[in-house]
Chain A
Amino acid sequence: MPVVIVDGQEIEIGADERLNCIEAARRAGAEIPHYCWHPGLSVVASCRMCLIETGQRDAASGKITMVPKLVPGCQTPVKDGTVIVTKSDLVTSSRARVEEALLIDHPIDCPICDKAGECLLQDYHFQHGQAERRADLHPFTSRKRDVGPTVTLFVDRCIMCTRCVRFTREVAGTAELMVTSRGAKEEIDVFPGFPLDNKLSGNVVDVCPVGALGDKDFLYQQRVWFLKREANVCGGCSAGCSIYTEHNQDTVYRLKPRENPQVNAWWICDEGRYGWHHLHDPARLVEAGRRRPAERGRPTEYEPVEWADLVVRLRDDLTRAGRLAVAVSPMLTVEEAWMLCAVARSIDPQAYLAVGHLPTTDSDETFPGGFTIRAEKCPNRRGVEAVVALFDPAVHGWSDLLAHVGGGNADAAWITAGYPTSGRGPWIDTETAATFANLSCLVVQDMFDTPLSQLASWRLPAAGFAERAGTWVNVAHRAQAFEQAIRPPAGVWPEGRLFWNMLGRRGLYDPSAVRRQLAESASLAALAGEIPAHGVDLRIHQLA
């Protein structure tokens, strides 16, 4: 195995690994500061923050020959015998000078900058900069430039690492951003009439190491040190991108991509990034209710029901009604889906189980950098199908369910939905909803009022993506487990908690207990044990 020597410490790297000095040093626990280098973008070696000393150890004699000048760590690949020095006086003074140079024109407006607290310029200056300013004092400037619908550019904060420019060229393929002017007058800009407006635009804010690119959606909303982050999975489409939900006091403030080489690499799309506002939409259903008997001339009313009562009454009502049909929503987690099926079959052993409505758009959209936005706008179709298959090998879909109910084969239906449709139209139209009009009992579990929920005899609120815990299986059969990030609004039980209680289980809802049980079936065996941060491929154990 090739051996790399980092600050005197020998580390082994894989024989086929192609690492640069930054990556190799990181393995040895030495952090080489860098701005322009990003593992997902091309190497430009222009910020010069990662300058280090390198050398080569001769395999035969063991003699080390050093390169007589500084080299950029990002641009220098390591091989067997590469010597990396990250802490010499030459390196330290070079970093201090780069920091000093970057701050010559920087407004140093951290108190009013959204990036403060997670800013590389701040961090590196603290670690590598010098306390004293030697350059002339400049009058304060802070120019803002609107570069697109999602992003504001704070021109003077920019350090010209060009990560954003490379992102729009290499990953999004839209190339809206560019560098104008020359030398110290250089600025990031867009061409007049061609704003930064693509479906991945929010990522430029993530790649920006300083406070130059501000996300309009998050700007001035919250200081980052108040935010707590929970590793989560985006529910926007079947890609199932790994994300962090960043929240404070049960309010989500932003979503950030979580690096996952198996799913989304470093990126997420804008649809997912800004797709959390429905969680805090005032129009959300937040109360479980039983429909009052209709009175002529009065609108439909729901009488509030305590959840503890509901667990009993719902079962009674459904048992009384007779033949049950259930739509298992692809927004549910694998665990919730399984418990729902189990509850349904315990009420009616012949209950008709079908995968719920699958919201879709025209087609998948793949960007030049390989990132794909899926047409299927739900996160867990694969998982729900696998669960339903455990109960009924002929996995029915939503249209099968409509035909089943429309053919008069059911007396009761339990429709789980939970589609994040805030601001868009309801997911179901009045005509389709009418299929369920003549049932003796209709349970609808949804986040928003729809033509269907208006027919419901039981109208139950649903939880949003950050409010549930469990496992989703994406389009590539990768199962990712996640914890609940925030509590749902007062009065809402996440589906899992309701099903857990209806199954008569004790204690708090525990997804991992359900998962252990699920892992006993062959098709879901991969769910056994702890699920790693990057998820696990459900097909692995089946192939083996």
Chain B
Amino acid sequence: MQPFKPVLLEAVGVPDGNTLASYKSRGGYAPLEQTLAGRQSADVVEMVKSSGLRGRGGAGFSTGLKWTFLPKDHPGPIYLCVNADESEPGTFNNRILMEDDPHQVIEGIILSSFATRASTAYIYLRYEYPTAWHRLQAAIDEAYAAGYLGKNIRGSGFSLDIYLHRGAAAYICGEETGLIESLEGKRAWPRIKPPFPAIEGLFRKPTVVNNIETMACVAQIARRGVDWFKSIGVPADPNNPRDPGSYGPKLYCLSGHVEKPGCYEAPLGITARELIDHFGGGVWRGRRAKAVIPGGISMGLMTESELDTPLDFAGPGRVGCLGLGTAAVVVIDDQTSIVDFLHNSCRFFAHESCGQCTPCREGTSWSLRMLERIKAGKGRLKDLDLLAEIGNTMGMMPGSTICGLADGAAWPIKNAIKKFRGEFEDHIKRTNPSGWMVTDPVPALQIVGAH
């Protein structure tokens, strides 16, 4: 493993690293001033596009390309929404960035707004992040005072206001159109697409929705250059024309049963095993990993034998996971029941399903009820088939839902059943020796509410 000097996490551990003075001492805001003084917004778009930066929020869509979907010569307003509703279980990289280096994020937002010709940016912040809220607001105030925000920034003619909006703790608000609805003051029910937000988003105006980490990357690309960014990560697969490559540094959130959980910066493409052993100090208490979540629980599960999969945008998909997601790696040791894991996962998604589309609303709660029953020793082998069917038919990919929440709920189910079916069968037969073979409907259990 090559030594790697953190860039995005440069300020972590620096005393008062979250202040404007500290950020400027590290070279911050200089690229912004140069950009505003001498470059066109199209140049910034081109820079980000050529850097190969892919969105860090989960889907991994090319950031520069997304910006070009905005209508040309639109009279405005165009909005930039920054998604800081980081609620994927296991994920905390945005939190570190907002708490420890908020100015890096703000510089990225200003540059991105300049590129997209947005004059208003909204940061949609997760409710559960009070420190990030205070520090971001303080940083925004500092940036206004220093003239990096407001009207006619640095005499460039470019104006930008940033509003920090605090959500009310709902997972679905992290879905980009759910976020937009919520910002508009409505129930965060994801919108049907088309129209996509780039054409008709916030307040029915063209809108770009980007992740906090993406913003930080934009700031770093502006400071260190496209070549620096492209020197890190995994180049595009020449045999796959649809693979744009995975460039740049990435914040991996390592948690679960490891010795040293935390947020670590590494080049895209590091394998899960390297991450666990090199950064995490190995699986805790000398145990072995049973399964690893590659990027938040909605991405599914990798088994121990799949740990050498590179954690880039294409890697987890090759072993049947949904994707890299938020790169939140959660380690599950060999003494943990996968039944318990799946129950917990189903409980989360049943609780967080917004309830708009029938397959997700009913599928997530049905799967939770089956897992409740299996855990209570009343499981049947037939339940595994039903769970697999729910997992295979729920989501945007089969076309049965509006947004990707259902795919995220389906992937742990189908991965767990496919990769750990033996363990489920053992559990069911052991705990329900007289009823595991029943195929007729059985009475439901009273569910104790999630919370």
Q: Footprint of B on A, CB under 8 Å? A: 43-49, 51, 69-72, 75, 94, 97-98, 101-102, 104-105, 133-139, 159-160, 178-179, 181-186
Cross-chain contact B441 with A134 (CB below 8 angstroms) = yes
Give every chain B residue within 8 A of A136 (Cβ-Cβ): 369-370, 373, 441-445
Min C-beta distance of A328 to chain B, whole Å? 52
Count CB-based A-B contacts (< 8 Å). Answer: 104
List B residues 4-21 near A (Cβ within 8 Å): none
Stretch at the interface among B103-111, B113-121, B360-368: B360-368
Give every chain A residue within 8 A of B444 (Cβ-Cβ): 135-139
Q: 19 A-B Cβ contacts within 8 A?
A: A44-B189, A46-B356, A48-B358, A48-B401, A49-B358, A51-B399, A51-B400, A69-B398, A70-B399, A102-B358, A105-B362, A133-B441, A135-B441, A136-B369, A160-B358, A183-B365, A184-B350, A184-B361, A186-B355
Give every chain A residue within 8 A of B354 (Cβ-Cβ): 182-183
The 6 closest A-B pairs by CB, nearest first: A70-B399, A101-B362, A69-B399, A184-B365, A136-B444, A186-B355
- Whether A159 touches B358, Cβ cut-off 8 Å, given contacts A70-B399, A183-B365, is yes
Q: Supply 9 further A-B pairs (C-beta < 8 A) apart from A133-B441, A136-B445.
A: A75-B192, A134-B441, A137-B442, A137-B444, A138-B444, A160-B358, A160-B361, A183-B350, A186-B355
Cross-chain contact B366 with A135 (CB below 8 angstroms) = yes
Cross-chain contact A137 with B359 (CB below 8 angstroms) = no
Question: Complex: how many Å from CA A426 to CA B364?
Answer: 60
- Give the interface residue-count category, chain B: 35 or more
Cross-chain contact A46 with B357 (CB below 8 angstroms) = yes
Min C-beta distance of B185 to chain A, whole Å? 13
Give every chain A residue within 8 A of B362 (Cβ-Cβ): 101-102, 104-105, 184
Question: Complex: how many Å from CA A408 to CA B93?
Answer: 95
B421 within 8 A of A: no
Give every chain B residue within 8 A of A184 (Cβ-Cβ): 350, 353, 355, 361-362, 364-365
Question: Complex: how many Å from CA A88 to CA B90?
Answer: 40
B30 within 8 A of A: no
Give every chain A residue within 8 A of B441 (Cβ-Cβ): 133-137
Give every chain A residue within 8 A of B352 (Cβ-Cβ): 182-183
Min C-beta distance of A131 to chain B, whole Å? 13
CB < 8 Å neighbour of B400 from A43, A70, A183 = A70
B59 within 8 A of A: no
Cross-chain contact A98 with B192 (CB below 8 angstroms) = no
Smallest CB gap from A52: residue in B: B399
Cross-chain contact B170 with A182 (CB below 8 angstroms) = yes
Most chain A C-beta atoms within 10 Å of own C-beta, residue among B351, B398, B399: B399
B386 within 8 A of A: yes
Min C-beta distance of B254 to chain A, whole Å? 30
List B residues 393-450 near A (Cβ within 8 Å): 393, 397-402, 441-445
Question: Complex: how many Å from CA A280 to CA B445?
Answer: 51
Question: Complex: how many Å from CA A82 to CA B201?
Answer: 27
Min C-beta distance of B193 to chain A, whole Å? 9
Give every chain A residue within 8 A of B353 (Cβ-Cβ): 182-184
Give every chain A residue within 8 A of B355 (Cβ-Cβ): 160, 179, 181-186
- Whether A47 touches B358, Cβ cut-off 8 Å, given contacts A133-B441, A183-B365, is yes
Min C-beta distance of B242 to chain A, whole Å? 14
B134 within 8 A of A: no
B187 within 8 A of A: yes
- Whether A43 touches B192, Cβ cut-off 8 Å, given contacts A102-B362, A134-B441, A184-B355, is yes
Question: Complex: how many Å from CA A437 to CA B432?
Answer: 92
- Whether A104 touches B366, Cβ cut-off 8 Å, given contacts A98-B358, A179-B187, is yes
Question: Complex: how many Å from CA A178 to CA B402?
Answer: 20
- Whether A46 touches B358, Cβ cut-off 8 Å, given contacts A179-B187, A183-B352, is yes
Question: Complex: how many Å from CA A46 to CA B355?
Answer: 9
Question: Complex: how many Å from CA A183 to CA B361?
Answer: 5
Min C-beta distance of B382 to chain A, whole Å? 8
Smallest CB gap from B192: residue in A: A45
Question: Complex: how many Å from CA A47 to CA B362?
Answer: 11
Smallest CB gap from A178: residue in B: B187
Question: Complex: how many Å from CA A178 to CA B187?
Answer: 9
Cross-chain contact B443 with A186 (CB below 8 angstroms) = no
Most chain A C-beta atoms within 10 Å of own C-beta, residue among B356, B366, B386: B356
Cross-chain contact A94 with B393 (CB below 8 angstroms) = yes
Question: Complex: how many Å from CA A133 to CA B358?
Answer: 17
- Whether A48 touches B350, Cβ cut-off 8 Å, given contacts A101-B358, A182-B355, is no
Cross-chain contact B400 with A94 (CB below 8 angstroms) = yes
- Whether A97 touches B393, Cβ cut-off 8 Å, given contacts A133-B441, A182-B351, is yes
Min C-beta distance of B25 to chain A, whole Å? 46
Question: Complex: how many Å from CA A139 to CA B445?
Answer: 10
Give every chain B residue within 8 A of A159 (Cβ-Cβ): 358
Question: Complex: how many Å from CA A102 to CA B170?
Answer: 24
Give every chain B residue within 8 A of A43 (Cβ-Cβ): 192
Min C-beta distance of A186 to chain B, whole Å? 4
- Whether A46 touches B402, Cβ cut-off 8 Å, given contacts A136-B369, A183-B354, A183-B365, is yes
Min C-beta distance of B359 to chain A, whole Å? 6
Give every chain A residue within 8 A of B445 (Cβ-Cβ): 136
Question: Complex: how many Å from CA A184 to CA B400?
Answer: 17
Question: Complex: how many Å from CA A43 to CA B193?
Answer: 11
Question: Complex: how many Å from CA A183 to CA B349?
Answer: 9
Question: Complex: how many Å from CA A486 to CA B354?
Answer: 48
Question: Complex: how many Å from CA A139 to CA B356?
Answer: 24
Min C-beta distance of B164 to chain A, whole Å? 25
Give every chain B residue within 8 A of A71 (Cβ-Cβ): 399
Cross-chain contact B357 with A48 (CB below 8 angstroms) = yes
Min C-beta distance of B217 to chain A, whole Å? 31
Question: Complex: how many Å from CA A134 to CA B383?
Answer: 9
Question: Complex: how many Å from CA A312 to CA B80?
Answer: 84
Question: Complex: how many Å from CA A69 to CA B394?
Answer: 12
Most chain B C-beta atoms within 10 Å of own C-beta, residue among A101, A136, A159, A183: A183
Give every chain B residue within 8 A of A51 (Cβ-Cβ): 399-400
Give every chain A residue within 8 A of B399 (Cβ-Cβ): 51, 69-71
Could you mark each residue 327-365 of chain B with 1 if its beta carbon is under 8 Å from any beta carbon of chain A, else 0?
Answer: 000000000000000000000001111111111011111
Give every chain A residue within 8 A of B351 (Cβ-Cβ): 182-183
Smallest CB gap from B443: residue in A: A137
Most chain A C-beta atoms within 10 Å of own C-beta, residue among B357, B361, B444: B361
Cross-chain contact A98 with B361 (CB below 8 angstroms) = no
Give every chain A residue within 8 A of B189 (Cβ-Cβ): 44, 46
Cross-chain contact A48 with B400 (CB below 8 angstroms) = yes
CB < 8 Å neighbour of B364 from A70, A137, A183 = A183
Question: Complex: how many Å from CA A178 to CA B358?
Answer: 17
Question: Complex: how many Å from CA A98 to CA B393?
Answer: 11
Min C-beta distance of A453 to chain B, whole Å? 56
Question: Complex: how many Å from CA A135 to CA B373?
Answer: 12
Give every chain B residue within 8 A of A179 (Cβ-Cβ): 187, 355
Smallest CB gap from A46: residue in B: B356
Cross-chain contact A186 with B400 (CB below 8 angstroms) = no
Smallest CB gap from A136: residue in B: B444
Smallest CB gap from A138: residue in B: B444
Question: Complex: how many Å from CA A102 to CA B366?
Answer: 11
Min C-beta distance of B88 to chain A, whole Å? 17
Smallest CB gap from A49: residue in B: B358
Smallest CB gap from A67: residue in B: B399
Give every chain B residue within 8 A of A102 (Cβ-Cβ): 358, 362
Min C-beta distance of B332 to chain A, whole Å? 25
List B residues 249-306 near A (Cβ within 8 Å): none
Give every chain A residue within 8 A of B401 (Cβ-Cβ): 48
Give every chain A residue within 8 A of B356 (Cβ-Cβ): 44, 46, 160
Cross-chain contact B192 with A44 (CB below 8 angstroms) = yes
Question: Complex: how many Å from CA A102 to CA B399?
Answer: 18
Question: Complex: how many Å from CA A50 to CA B239?
Answer: 39
Question: Complex: how many Å from CA A161 to CA B352?
Answer: 19
Most chain B C-beta atoms within 10 Å of own C-beta, residue among A47, A49, A71: A47
Question: Complex: how many Å from CA A515 to CA B359?
Answer: 55
Question: Complex: how many Å from CA A94 to CA B189?
Answer: 22
List B residues 81-103 near A (Cβ within 8 Å): none
Question: Complex: how many Å from CA A135 to CA B358?
Answer: 15
